[in-house]
Amino acid sequence: MLRSWKLQWLINEFITFPNYKKHFIELNSSWRYWWLLLTKLVNKVNPAPALLSLKKGGKFYVHDFMTLYIYTEIFVDKCYELGMKLEEDGTIIDVGGNIGLFTLWMKQQYPDMTVYSFEPFKQNYDQLVSNLLLSKVKHVNPIMRGVGGHTRIEKLYLNPKNLGGHSIYKQDDNNESVDIDIVSLDEVLAALGPKTCSLLKLDCEGAEYEIIKSMTAETAKKIKRIIFEPSEKLYNPAELISHLVKIGYTMKRSTDNYIAAYED
């Protein structure tokens, strides 16, 4: 099922001609992207990691096909485009840091931003750290923890086919699990001291539900904006939207995400 989805997406990438220009704008040696699309579809064909270099700053290793998909979502499709400016020297909390591509995209736009990138799964975290070091970005703090509604040890169920699909919620294809350390959002905000969070990004395969539901009107005063990808198979996004509006946010919908802006 996933393989056929990948193949369909790959074909669409190749036959959509504006994509060639888009990747050329983003990548040095963009031909490498197209070569990797073909050779990483079946990872045994090309199992070795390959390096892609971003024209606007940053580098990252491609270990598998899903890395190419995530890169395209973030840098080409602009799935995290906010439609609003952030503070140049503000603070971003990235929950679901994965291998660091969202952080690299934000640092291209806001090089003086401080980013706290939370990624609980060691394999992803190691790639995150490697990509950040390779890119020589400043003011980025990778943290090997998850974020939740309360602090605890929790099982993370692993998706064998998608490095961005690991979840604290068990689903049909993720029987293997590891224990991870989860810190509450309140603790994360307390560690910032008097500073506010310019942007809270949530892409954490369902954990956004408990994170947002744990927020109070007082919490909202510390977080100016939130962008989150809903996990519609696990809950009704309308419940989170209603809660965010109740505690002081205005909402809008982008293609894949919801964006919340705090109204003082």
DSSP 88-145: TT-EEEEES-TTSHHHHHHHHH-TT-EEEEE--SHHHHHHHHHHHHHHT-SSEEEE--
How many whole angstroms from its chain centre is CA 222?
A: 21
pLDDT tens-digit series, residues 64-119: 999 999 999 999 999 999 989 999 999 999 999 999 999 999 999 999 999 999 99
Q: Where are the beta strands (DSSP E) in the chain?
A: 27-28, 50-54, 59-62, 91-95, 114-118, 140-143, 146-148, 152-157, 177-184, 199-202, 225-228, 249-253, 258-262
User: Residue 42 — pLDDT band, cuts 50, 70, 90?
Assistant: confident
The number of folded domains in the chain is 2
90 and 70 within one domain: no
Q: Please state, in angstroms and rounded to a whole number, the distance separating the CA atoms of residues 86 and 68.
A: 27
Residues 6+ apart with CB under 8 A from 243: 212, 213, 215
- Final residue of a structural domain among 59, 77, 95: 77
Tokens of 109: 């736009």
β-sheet bridge partners, residue 159: none
Give the position of tokens 């439609």: 83
- 121 and 248 belong to one structural domain: yes
112 and 17: one domain? no
Domain region containing 170: 81-262
**How large is the average pLDDT for residues 13-27?**
95
CATH for 98: 3.40.50.150
Same domain, 33 and 164: no
Q: So what's the pLDDT on residue 2?
A: 54
Q: Are residues 140 and 217 in the same domain?
A: yes
Predicted confidence band at 232 (pLDDT cuts at 50, 70, 90)?
confident
Q: Tell whether 96 and 62 lie within a shared domain.
A: no
pLDDT at 40 over 80: yes
Please state, in angstroms and rounded to a whole number, the distance separating the CA atoms of residues 167 and 183. 15
In contact, 115 and 140? CB cutoff 8 Å: yes
Give the tokens for residue 93.
Answer: 């909390």
How many angstroms separate the CA atoms of 190 and 200, rounded?
14
Same domain, 73 and 121: no
Whole-angstrom distance, CA of residue 13 vs CA of residue 9 = 6
| 18 and 48 co-located in one domain | yes
Secondary structure (3-state) at 253: strand
Q: Are residues 96 and 124 in the same domain?
A: yes
Last residue of a domain, one of 30, 47, 77: 77
Determine contact, residues 182/95, Cβ cutoff 8 Å: no
Q: What is the pLDDT of residue 1?
A: 47
pTM flag (> 0.75) = yes
Residues 6+ apart with CB under 8 A from 44: none
Angle value at C-alpha 57, between 55 and 62, nearest 5 degrees: 80
Which residue did the predictor score with more confidence, 264 or 14? 14
Mean pLDDT value across the chain: 92
Task: Tell me the percentage of the chain whose pLDDT exceeds 70.
Answer: 97
| Cα 155 from chain centroid (whole Å) | 20
Q: What are phi and psi of 262, to 5 degrees?
A: -80, 130
* Residue ending a domain, choose from 45, 62, 77: 77
Residues 68 and 156 in one domain: no
Q: What is the pLDDT of residue 256?
A: 86
Q: Are residues 67 and 100 in the same domain?
A: no
Average pLDDT over residues 114-131: 96
Q: Mark whether 11 and 96 lie in a shared domain.
A: no
Give, rounded to a whole angstrom, the gap between the first and last alpha carbons of the chain: 46
Where is average pLDDT lowest: 4-8, 15-19, 240-244?
4-8
Residue pair 96/204 in contact by the 8 Å Cβ criterion? yes
Q: Is residue 82 a contact partner of residue 199, using CB atoms and an 8 Å limit?
A: yes
